[in-house]
Structure formats: C-alpha cells, structure tokens
Amino acid sequence: MNNAAVGSLILACCCVAQCWWRKTKDRRKEIKLRKKYFKGKLKEQNFNQEEAEKTRLFTEKQLKDATDNFDEDRTIGKGGQGTMYKGMLSDGKLVAVKRSSSLDETQWKEFINEVIILSHVNHRNVVKLLGCCLETKTLHLVYEFIPNGTLSDLLHSPNKEFRVTWDIRLRIASEVAGAIAYLHSSSSAPIYHRDIKSSNILLDHKYVAKVCDFGISRSTSIDQTHVTTCVRGTFGYLDPEYFLSNQYSEKSDVYSFGVVLVEILTGQKPMRVTLDDATSLVMQFINLTDDSAIYEMLDPIILASNHMTDDIMVVVNLAKRCLHPEGVGRPTMMQIAMELACLSKKTHVKVAASSEENISDPSNDFIFPENHIDETYSF
C-alpha cells in the first residue's frame, strides 16, 4: 500500500472518529437538556422534594439490568404501540417496562409534560406510572407491575374453576368507572384516556381493577384545558361521533366504557368476525328492546344469580345510555361512577345476606383462587 493510500485511510478513520465524537457529544447535550427541562417542570409545578422523587428518571442501564437487556423471556405483552417487559429493580421492586416508538426532539417536551402529570395521578384503580428514561430515542416508561392479567382475559379466556359472578363483575365495573371519573374530574388537569377497552384494564392479585395505558408512549398533544393523547383508539370501542366530528371529548371515553359494560354483561367480544362478515356486539345490544331477547344475550353465569335480575337490568340500561349515538345524550363518568357505586354497595349487601342463608355457596365470596394468576398484559 503506497503512502497516499495509507494517508487516505488514516484521514477517513479520523473523519469517522470525529463524526462519532460529535454525535456522542450532541447526544449527551440533548440528554442533559431533557433532564434540565424535566427538573424545571417539577419546580414550575411547585412539587416539593417528596413529590418530585415520586417521578423517577431511570437510566438506560437500570432498565437493561432490570429486564436482562430486554430479554424476550421477560416479554409480558406486545401490541401495535410497543412491547411490555417484566422487570425487577435493584431494590427488588417488580415493574413493567414499556418500550415503544421513538419521538423526535420537538415532541420530547410534550412527552415530559405528560409523564409528570400522569406520574402524580394517585388513585387505587389507576396503574401507577413510576417514571421514564430520557437517555434513548426509543420511549421507555416504567409502571408498577400488576400480576393478574386483564379484564379481557378474565371475560374471554375464563378459568373453569373460577366463576366470574355478577357481584365480581359489578365491582370491577364500579372501580373502572370511578378511576375514569377521577381522571376526568379530580386530577390537576382533566385527562381523557382515549383508548378504554377491556385489555387496558389490569387486575391485581385480588382482582381489583387497574386502568392502564394512557397512550403517553404515542405522540401527545397538550393544551391548557385537559390532557389527551393522539390515539386513534381501538376498533369496536371508538365513539361513532368522533368519526364525524374528529373532536374527542370526555363523552367519547363514556362511549368506550359503555362497550366495556356490554362485554361485562355478555361475556362476548365487541367484534365477532366470521367467514361471512363481522358483527358488532354493540349494535346488536342497543337494538334489543325486548327483555327476553336481552336475557338471551347476557352471560349465563350472571343470570345464575336470580335475586340480582333487577340490578342487572339497571346496568343494561346504563350501558345503553353510555352508547347513545350523540355525546350530549350520554351521562358523565361521574354520574356513571355514582350509580355503579350505589348499585355495587347494594349488591354486596344482598350477597352478604344470601351468604348467611347459604354459607356453603362459594360463588358469593370475594375469595379468589391463587391458580388463576396470569402474568400477562395485553394492549
């Protein structure tokens, strides 16, 4: 190799090294600016030290260590929005780490804004967002780990040894409604979920409902009146009014919750696809006016509680109100939550009274078998 060739090779190596050094320097600068912005937003919102520590910034190394470098064996859920991994932090705490799409630099500020808001949502029926990682182009979100699968799993892949009775279903519906009402009305800025569905309702080891997946791993849009996400939602759950107006509101969440209520009542999926066509469960449900026809659609398990028939019909009518074609005709989530809470309390009293009469009936107890735990997320 002549001197000119050697010189050219050295020059090329120097250029590559300089380019790598410059990119590394720029990347470190970007990360530093993100962290500075993150801490600045915490101070701007007047969070004290204790509150600020609730929103953690995880390093890329911490998340790799927690998930064995995102090993496939740690996967607990996959979907169009990313992959969820089960992880364990250095202190032994179990977490769910979501890795999804990347954002460009113009979207990072919005992402950080929403992370801060949602990480301070404090409700027993909302999955806790513990923090995020700002060191990578790919989004990494860290949630508390919920061990017992989803409401979709419970309804559509039931355990034969575990009967999902009416009182259990009503309690879960009431918990979900209360969580969404809290997001709409009680947090610092109203939050619209925009992707409410049974697979976004997790269940803990006691089958307590936990609403999850607010869509912050997608591109976000924040204004001064509410927090929302640029989610198109899920087929079968989307508000038909949204298709016409392209305007999402709290009543759109109400419609999606109405679909979940129909799932709870019937034990069937929102869309049933056959070789001939796709049938909408919701359209079939809202078009029924005869009580006997409605009873035929209901899950036989809940009809086994004959003394609950009136309460079941109350929820049937509530679901129809939620599914009104126009948002103005639907109740608010707060109204729904109050109605379901009262009904759930009354049902619990009935179940307790029935248990005293027939204490040997296991279907009336809130005791759940350990062998039904399923460490799977579906989203």
Q: Give 45's pLDDT tier (boundaries 50, 70, 90).
A: low
Least confident of 51-55, 323-327, 336-340: 51-55
Which residue do the tokens 């600020």 mark? 52
Residues 99-111: what's their mean pLDDT? 75
Mean pLDDT of 128-145: 88
pTM of the model: 0.79
CB under 8 Å to 136, separation ≥6 — which residues?
60
The catalytic position among 153, 167, 195, 311 is 195
Partner residues linked to 144 by β-bridges: 95
Q: Which range is least confidently modeled, 109-113, 270-274, 315-319? A: 270-274
User: Which sequence spans correspond to the domains of the chain?
Assistant: 151-372
Least confident of 86-100, 222-236, 259-273: 222-236
Query: Would you give the DSSP letter of residue 150?
Result: B
Report the candidate in 113, 80, 116, 114 with the shortest Cα–Cα distance to residue 98.
Answer: 80
So what's the pLDDT on residue 59?
92
Of the pLDDT bands very low, low, confident and very high (cuts 50, 70, 90), residue 86 is very high
Amino acid 379: pLDDT: 38
Render pLDDT for 276-315 as a digit per residue (tens, 0 to 9).
Answer: 545 688 888 988 878 888 999 999 999 887 677 889 999 9
Three-class DSSP category at 158? coil
Q: What is the DSSP letter of 323?
A: T
Domain covering 151-372 in this structure, CATH number: 1.10.510.10
Q: Hunting for tokens 């929302």 — which residue is that?
A: 228
pLDDT tens digits, 175-190: 999 999 999 986 567 8
User: Which residue, among 152, 150, 124, has the nearest Cα to 268 in the 3D structure?
Assistant: 152
| pLDDT for 218 | 44
Average pLDDT over residues 316-341: 96
Q: Report pLDDT for 51.
A: 62
276 is a catalytic site residue: no
* 306 burial type by CB count under 10 A (0-12 exposed, 13-18 middle, 19+ buried): exposed
Residue 222 reports pLDDT greater than 90: no
Confidence at residue 75, expressed as pLDDT on a 0 to 100 scale: 92
pLDDT surpassing 50 at residue 241: yes
